[in-house]
Chain A
Amino acid sequence: MSNPASTTHTPGVLPTGTEVLIEAVGLRKTFGDFVAVDGIDVQVHRGEAFGFLGPNGAGKSSTMRMIGCVSPVSGGSLRILGMDPALDGARIRARLGVVPQQDSLDGELTVRDNLYVYGRYFGIPRAECRRMATELLEFANLTDRADSLVDPLSGGMKRRLTIARALINSPEILLLDEPTTGLDPQARHVLWDRLFRLKRSGVTLVLTTHYMDEAEQLCDRLVVMDKGRIAAEGSPRSLIEQWSTREVLELRFDEDDLSPHARRVEGIGERVEVLPDRLLLYVDDGEAAGRAVHERGVRPLSSLVRRSTLEDVFLRLTGRSLVD
């Protein structure tokens, strides 16, 4: 998990002396009149795992494509590895690994040839491509499927192959756009394990996700993105500390209108959120709050105390949930 010391930093103020690999200032992306990315400021440092957390349509992929130098910047400035994507796109891409949101594996090639041919795209010599392909098959746990075409592979296998493929040029920065969306829990954990290994070996990870657990698991630092803008920035811990309480008391009711209950528990915690099927009470001590609810004569169907998550941060910042 994240370095505990980092939680004492004010969000946005970073340890000095770290090399900045990606720097966006007022970065914008427009499609015609539509503004997909609306002036974001981002700095990514060497060796960290940096995340963009936000719901569908927040502008995460648009941002990732600009960083990947496959989408021209509409406004603001963007520098990657000290270079300008508009001028040095090919030189930047030579040092990036890209896992796009939409699979772009080559369906006409075998698993092994996908790795081999992709290495050739970087101009890596044939013998080196063959050696790397064998090594990466091992890393992705796909050695026994080496001669299969990619179509019959499971979703998790395809994703692992895509990540392996993105590593063929030993990139300094790995861009992962929703790496585990659509995967079952077990496949996600296998993938997370691979990403931890990469991070430990010094690769800088930049990922997008709309899963708060993924962001908490993988990211040292992240920005919460909504409607093309950055709503908050910091480590998962510091974001939760700043924007939420230590604990959350969830009260479930079997009724359509929960607002009367909400009024009755008002003041027990810092805040009450009304969701369609439950109330969320933001409190420091969930047990004590539970007793207070009982004393006021409120009888929920069930109640549950849990720690605050990034989901709560997002709800606080935008008034909506991450996954709809």
Chain B
Amino acid sequence: MSLAAVVVERNVVTYRRQWIAFLTGFLEPVFYLFSLGLGLGALIGDITLPGGQVVSYPQYVAPAMLAMAAMNGAVFDATYNMFFKLKHAHTFDAMLATPIGPRDIALGEMAWSLVRSGIYVTGFLLISLAMGLVRSWWALLAVPAATLIGFVFSGLGMAATSWVRNYVDFDYIQMALVPLTLLSATFFPIEAYPAQVRWLVELSPLYHGVVIERGLMLGDVGPGLLVHAAVLVVVGSIALWVARRRLAHLLLK
């Protein structure tokens, strides 16, 4: 793990001069919260959770936007920045000439995207708290839980990026992210879908993240959340494994 930490350190040194890029990924879910949560929410009224609890629409949407912040934080570094370092800047070629190996790079880049994701999530949680959108002490676990979301999307992002040939290919990744953002029980409950297509939503890692965060922030907690967490751990681990293999394949020819 020690050399993976050095990979993180390299990113910390470079990001001292790139704080604007850092900010934009954070603002997107915040804008959603204000526009859809507060704006549209005023028209929608309250929502009844499966457990019978009644919450306001902004309260319903905020945990999903927190999950989205976690996803965004991880995806930026795992895709665009990863590609840049891999194909253009030869950052990883330089690292591999040292004792650092592909495993250290995969773990280090992932850890860095989790740091970024964690900062987004913490910021978002504080905003939600200030707006009275947090209803339970369980919300203290929202940040650690979001690490799982970051883990999955960082792994998937890195793995997908290893197949990207040029910047145009990122449109495909973007194309996958938009429905993911809108349809993962983010803005309306999964029960709104016909039973036959719910399994499609359940394929979305973001959906599992949203369920966990919603449970924690609204105090609707049960053992079922552990199953959702397990899904994220398994998918993330497989993705990380694939990413490491692909990096070795691409860089060690």
Contacts and interface: CB of A to CB of B under 8 A. Distances in A.
Nearest to B12: A117
Contact of B100 (A104, A105, A108, A121): A121
A70 B99 contact: no
Given A31-B253, A109-B13, A123-B3, A98 B97 contact: yes
B123 interface: no
Contacts of B91: 104, 106, 108
Interface in A85-113: 89-91, 93-94, 96, 98, 100, 102-109, 113
B13 A117 contact: yes
B252 A123 contact: no
B94 interface: yes
B89 A100 contact: no
Contacts of B100: 90, 121
A108 to B, nearest CB: 4
Nearest to B9: A120
Nearest to A175: B97
A118 B94 contact: yes
A126 B144 CA distance: 30
Contacts of B173: none
A176 B253 CA distance: 19
B10 A120 contact: yes
Nearest to A102: B90
A94 B14 contact: no
B166 interface: no
B97 A91 contact: no
Contact of B97 (A68, A72, A116): A68
A234 B70 CA distance: 61
Nearest to A114: B94
B10 A70 contact: no
B6 interface: yes
A90 B98 CA distance: 7
Nearest to A120: B6
A70 B251 contact: yes
Interface residues of B, number: 24
A196 interface: no
B137 to A, nearest CB: 40
Nearest to B10: A117
Contacts of B94: 104-106, 118, 121
A123 B9 contact: no
B23 interface: no
Contacts of B2: 123
Nearest to A91: B99
Interface residues of A, number: 31
Contacts of A104: 89-91, 93-94, 97
Contact of B99 (A65, A71, A94): A94
Contacts of B95: 121
B41 interface: no
Contacts of A108: 14, 17-18, 89, 91
Interface in B1-46: 2-3, 6, 9-10, 13-14, 17-18
A113 B13 contact: yes
Contacts of A31: 253
B13 A122 contact: no
B252 A71 contact: yes
Contacts of A123: 2-3, 6, 99
Contact of A100 (B6, B93, B253): B93
B235 interface: no
The 10 closest A-B pairs by CB, nearest first: A104-B94, A121-B98, A104-B90, A98-B97, A108-B14, A90-B99, A94-B99, A104-B93, A120-B6, A117-B10
25 contacts: A68-B97, A70-B96, A70-B97, A71-B253, A72-B252, A89-B101, A90-B99, A93-B97, A93-B99, A94-B98, A100-B93, A100-B97, A103-B90, A104-B89, A106-B89, A108-B17, A116-B13, A117-B13, A120-B10, A121-B3, A121-B95, A122-B98, A123-B3, A123-B6, A123-B99
Interface of B: 2-3, 6, 9-10, 13-14, 17-18, 89-91, 93-101, 251-253
